[in-house]
Amino acid sequence: MKKKRLSFSEIYLALVTLITYLPIAVVIVFSFNDSKLPVAWKGFTLRWYERLFHDAALMEALRNSIVLGLVSCLFAAVIGTLGAIGMARVHFKSKGMMEYLSTMPIMLPEIILGMVFMAFFSMLKLPFGWPTLIIAHTSFCIPYVYLMVKARLVGIDKSIEEAARDLGASPSRAFFDITLPLILPAVSSGCVLSFAMSFDDVVISIFVNGPTLSTLPIKVYTQMRTGVTPEINALCTLILIAVILILSLSSFLRNRETSDDDK
């Protein structure tokens, strides 16, 4: 019986998977290591997780990042959705240029965008801290929602909303009853992506952050100068577990909706 040889595509896929997930696996394993140095295994322990929950500064930075991400993606959802709907309904010569300018924040290097925000806020004499962080994060999160909603609007039949208007629905009633439910999956996807980008940002946050406020990426970045501590490995493991649970829940709800629709 001949042995089946692995194809090039299978070998390539295995290598990509190994390179992608091996560092994550190493972080998870060493979060349970009894040694402070991530070079040798000295035994299983949970003390780094205990120290993590007792690290007030790190927990505060985590809370700040979560709040900042939620507020930023909320504002970005409203502005980006309204912007996409407005651009889809108007027609003028400079529309293409306006759409290009709307997505520019995600095309500029973050260090350039951070310097621009810092100079702009300094010119306005805004106090660096929560206001500047929220404005900056909202600004570079808007394009993600805008692009998602814009792509969804292309596949929506405009005659559906027009039919609702012909039946006597007001513009606001037609929007909330017809348009919004149709674009809600795109808005949700844009919000998730915006939250992830805001939660992960470190470059722009450094430029617009205040002296007494710290987000999780900034906190981790400053601790990286003295080496990765086991508490950081534990935190990364918990965040990874939270992401897996959220994705699993989202997949379960989506599959259930699909099965209900089939029935």
Per-residue b or e along 244-254, where b marks 16 or more CB atoms closer than 10 Å to that residue's CB = eeeeeeeeeee
Choose the CATH number for 52-228 among 2.60.410.10, 1.10.3720.10, 3.30.565.10, 3.30.420.40.
1.10.3720.10
Taking alpha carbons only, the member of 3, 202, 183 closest to residue 110 is 202
What's the chain's average pLDDT? Answer: 85
- Per-residue pLDDT band for 40 (boundaries 50, 70, 90) equals confident
> 10-14, 30-34, 235-239, 254-258: which has the minimum mean pLDDT?
254-258
Q: Is the pTM of this model over 0.85?
A: no
Cβ–Cβ under 8 Å, residues 141 and 198? yes
What tokens were used for 34? Answer: 């009894």
From-to residues of CATH 1.10.3720.10 in the chain? 52-228
Residue 119 CA to residue 61 CA, distance in Å, equals 25
- Per-residue pLDDT band for 121 (boundaries 50, 70, 90) equals very high
